[in-house]
């Protein structure tokens, strides 16, 4: 295959990844306008977070399904179908505000959550399937370059998302941010017809195990995110989780499940990459949420300052993904060790300086970003090394899937722990007082309580990062040298 054609093909895949990643973060700056237009009451403000959670769930649930569809029908057809679903979800989100109010149907907020889930069902398939496309378009020795470009495109989309949302709201309305996805997606679909086809495997698609696992993930997320003590509904959910988890585990042990190809369990590098990615995702989401929350509540920074501070982190994740290409040429294991050490060191420094506003922590956020960025290439490169082409789609999906599971887990734990811990710390503070000095003391006490919570959350992110590093080191002793290195 001629070089310029390969560059053209990879560029198409990077563009698809960019638009899918952009919509993960664009909603952050759209939420205030959406809350007003959808007439969401004060009592429903906590539910607005589900517009983010539902996107993560949709992203996560579709990945293994998309991997199987990719293996059965080819990566090009799967990508086109995914973009059609993504466009449909974007269209429905864009017209949510026009849905008439009716007591017999879900509220506009509920429709938004449902449509975001549908949009994610299309967007969630794009990144792992594009990684499969890279592995088919490029020779194996050039995989790391392709994976690095895909990773950089994903992180660039995450960087641009909030800034793009701000510009849209400034000159148009929030619906435009979603409706504009449609012509862009149609352009990418047209370009995808130039991509080479891949071989089609005789893969059977059974949804029984996928449905079971999806229900387990959804119920677990709801239980952790909405946890408020053990009541009757919580007991019912816990019982359902025990039954479904036991059934799923039995099917795995007896090799009866169709969720993950049984032969994947024989590839130690795939398993360790998945476990590492889980804890990387959990650590990353805590950092990504803590920075803007602490900046707005403790340090009283405005949205532009917060966005620029996050840019320091996300921009260097992209830089790190490119740097990971060159380090992975030496060894995936060395690259993973370096990224784990840099990431953990940066988070440790951040935990010592969280009392300072993020705009004063450029070098610390740069270190954290580089650490997370370097992870991207070696994780996929090691995880797909030796995986046969007929199951490479589901393998790539499962590696990305593990990161999304980690992000959902980290976000759920963070929400539950942070809320409970903050309530505990402010329980003895007198909230209502007319005395000016008492009011100032109250504000300082609340800020100190919030700062304590953020410190503990960052410590949790550090633990997740260290667990990823520990698994990397441990895997060196149990994984074949040929699996551990490119």
Q: pLDDT tens-digit profile of 310-321?
A: 777 877 887 887
Cα–Cα distance for residue pair 38/51, rounded to 1 Å? 13
Q: What single-letter DSSP state applies at residue 100?
A: P
| HSE, side-chain direction, 13 A CA sphere, residue 398 | 25
C-beta of residue 134 within 8 angstroms of C-beta of residue 154: no
**pLDDT(81) > 70:** yes
What φ, ψ does residue 105 adopt, rounded to 5°? -125, 165
Looking at residue 445, its pLDDT comes to: 63
Structure tokens given for 175: 């619906």
Alpha-carbon distance of 64 to 180, in angstroms, equals 28
**Average pLDDT of the residues of the chain:** 76
Question: If you count DSSP H runs as helices and E runs as strands, how many of each does the chain have, helices first?
Answer: 17, 0
Tens of pLDDT, residues 401-429:
788 788 877 877 776 666 566 555 555 55
* pLDDT value for 216: 82
Q: Band of the pLDDT at 345, cuts 50, 70, 90?
A: very high
pLDDT tens for each residue of 47-68: 666 777 777 778 777 776 777 7
C-alpha atoms less than 13 angstroms from C-alpha of 48 in its C-beta half-sphere: 19
The most confident of 150-164, 338-352, 432-446, by mean pLDDT = 338-352
Q: Which residue has the tokens 């205030």?
A: 32
Q: How far apart are CA 356 and CA 335, in angstroms?
A: 31
Cα gap 26→7, rounded to integer Å: 28
- Confirm if 130 and 66 have CB atoms less than 8 A apart: no
At a CB cut-off of 8 Å and minimum separation 6, what does 330 contact?
none
CATH of the domain spanning 264-486, picked from 3.40.50.720, 1.20.1250.20, 3.40.50.300, 1.10.3720.10: 1.20.1250.20
**Hunting for tokens 């009716």 — which residue is that?**
102
First to last CA, the chain: 23
Q: Where are the alpha helices (DSSP H) in 38-74?
A: 50-73
What is the token pair recorded at 126? 């794009």
pLDDT at residue 485 in the model: 41
Q: Could you tell me which of 312, 323, 319, 322 has the C-alpha nearest to residue 365?
A: 312
Cβ contact 365:358 at 8 Å: yes
Using an 8 Å Cβ cutoff, are 373 and 323 in contact? yes
pTM listed for this prediction: 0.70
Q: In this structure, are residues 383 and 399 in contact, taking their beta carbons and an 8 Å threshold? A: yes
Q: Which of 272, 288, 280, 271 is nearest to 464 (CA)?
A: 280
pLDDT at 483: 41
How does residue 257 score in pLDDT terms, banded at 50, 70 and 90?
low
Q: What pLDDT score does 466 carry?
A: 93
Note the pLDDT of residue 39. Answer: 64
In this structure, are residues 353 and 164 in contact, taking their beta carbons and an 8 Å threshold? no
- Structural element, H or E, at residue 306: helix 303-330
- CA torsion sign for 351, 318, 476, 399 is positive
- Does the pLDDT at position 171 exceed 90? no
pLDDT of residue 482: 42
Q: What average pLDDT does this structure show over 294-317?
A: 73
Distances (CA, A) of 225 to 50, 238, 241, 245: 10, 14, 15, 19
441: which 2 tokens? 């003391």
Banded model confidence at residue 465, pLDDT cuts 50, 70, 90? very high
Q: Are 443 and 426 in contact (CB under 8 A)?
A: no
**Under DSSP, is residue 339 helix (H, G, I), strand (E, B) or coil?**
helix
- The model's pLDDT over 187-213, given as tens digits with 9 standing for 90+, comes to 988 988 887 776 665 556 566 777 787
Q: Tell me which fold the domain 1-204 belongs to.
A: Growth Hormone; Chain: A; (1.20.1250)
Highest mean pLDDT among 165-179, 247-261, 365-379: 365-379
The pLDDT confidence band at residue 481, using thresholds 50, 70 and 90, is very low
Q: How far is CA 217 from CA 77, 194, 246, 301, 402, in A?
A: 28, 37, 14, 35, 12
User: Quick one: CA dihedral 118, 31, 174, 37, positive or negative?
Assistant: positive
């Amino acid at each position: 295959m001629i070089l310029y054609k390969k560059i053209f093909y990879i560029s198409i895949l990077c563009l698809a990844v960019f638009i899918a990643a952009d919509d993960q973060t664009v909603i952050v700056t759209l939420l205030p306008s959406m809350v007003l237009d959808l007439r969401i009451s004060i009592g429903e403000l906590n539910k607005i977070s589900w517009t983010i959670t539902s996107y993560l769930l949709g992203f996560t649930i579709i990945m293994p399904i998309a991997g199987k569809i990719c293996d059965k029908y080819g990566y090009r057809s799967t990508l086109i179908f995914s973009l059609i679903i993504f466009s449909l979800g974007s269209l429905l989100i864009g017209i949510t505000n026009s849905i008439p109010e009716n007591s017999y149907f879900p509220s506009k907020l509920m429709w938004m959550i449902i449509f975001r889930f549908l949009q994610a069902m299309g967007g969630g398939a794009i990144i792992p399937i594009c990684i499969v496309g890279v592995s088919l378009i490029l020779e194996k020795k050039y995989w790391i370059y392709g994976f690095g470009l895909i990773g950089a495109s994903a992180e660039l989309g995450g960087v641009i998302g909030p800034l793009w949302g701000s510009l849209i709201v400034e000159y148009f309305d929030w619906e435009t941010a979603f409706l504009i996805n449609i012509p862009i997606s149609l352009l990418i679909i047209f370009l995808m017809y130039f991509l080479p086809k891949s071989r089609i495997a005789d893969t059977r698609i059974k949804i029984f195990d996928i449905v079971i696992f999806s229900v387990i993930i959804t119920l677990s997320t709801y239980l952790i995110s909405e946890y408020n003590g053990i009541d009757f509904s919580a007991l019912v959910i816990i019982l359902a989780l025990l039954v479904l988890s036991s059934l799923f585990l039995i099917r795995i042990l007896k090799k009866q499940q169709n969720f993950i190809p049984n032969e994947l369990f024989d590839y130690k590098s795939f398993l360790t990459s998945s476990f590492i990615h889980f804890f990387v995702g959990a650590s990353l989401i805590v950092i990504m949420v803590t920075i803007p929350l602490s900046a707005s509540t403790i340090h009283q920074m405005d949205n532009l300052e917060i966005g620029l501070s996050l840019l320091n982190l996300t921009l260097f994740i992209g830089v790190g993904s490119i740097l990971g290409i060159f380090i992975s040429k030496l060894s995936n294991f060395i690259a993973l060790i370096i990224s784990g050490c840099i990431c953990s060191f940066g988070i440790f420094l951040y935990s010592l300086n969280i009392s300072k506003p993020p705009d004063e922590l450029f070098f610390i956020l740069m270190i954290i970003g580089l650490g997370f960025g370097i992870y991207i290439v070696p994780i996929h490169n090691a995880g797909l090394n030796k995986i046969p082409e007929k199951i490479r789609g589901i393998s790539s999906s499962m590696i990305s899937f593990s990161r999304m599971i980690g992000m959902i887990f980290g976000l759920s734990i963070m929400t539950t722990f942070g809320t409970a811990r903050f309530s505990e710390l402010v329980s003895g503070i007198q909230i209502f007082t007319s005395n000016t000095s008492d009011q100032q003391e109250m504000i300082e006490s609340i800020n100190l309580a919030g700062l304590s919570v953020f410190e503990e959350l960052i410590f949790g992110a550090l633990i997740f990062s260290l667990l990823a590093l520990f698994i990397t080191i441990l895997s060196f002793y149990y994984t074949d040298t040929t699996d551990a290195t490119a």
